[in-house]
């Protein structure tokens, strides 16, 4: 009998768990990754609502919005 560690790597196990959990979900997946203080005034979320991108199973496009608040310490901005 093969050792279970030889059959699946830790990455494979994580992927498998994610697939199983996603099948168990009874509601739509979230569009935004963080709870926002005032999401009603966020222009990106308002536009997603306007065009009705809610991640329905039938939607051809799925959205994951990761709000990144820019600051001087953000490594994506770089230093001038």
Give percent of the chain with pLDDT exceeding 90: 24
Residue 72 to residues 37, 42, 65, 67, Cα–Cα distance (Å): 21, 22, 21, 16
Give the integer Cα–Cα distance in Å for 52 and 21.
25
More confident residue, 34 or 80: 34
pLDDT higher than threshold 70 for residue 75: no
pLDDT higher than threshold 90 for residue 49: yes
Q: Which residue has the tokens 């279970």?
A: 4
Best CA proximity match to 46, nearest among 27, 65, 70:
65
pLDDT higher than threshold 90 for residue 1: no
């Amino acid at each position: 009998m093969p050792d279970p560690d030889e059959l699946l790597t830790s990455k494979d196990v994580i992927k498998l768990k994610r697939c199983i959990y996603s099948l168990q979900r009874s509601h739509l997946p979230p569009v935004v990754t963080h709870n926002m203080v005032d999401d009603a005034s966020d222009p990106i979320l308002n536009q997603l609502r306007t065009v009705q991108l809610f991640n329905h199973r039938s939607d051809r496009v799925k959205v994951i919005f990761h709000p990144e608040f820019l600051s001087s310490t953000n490594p994506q901005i770089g230093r001038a």
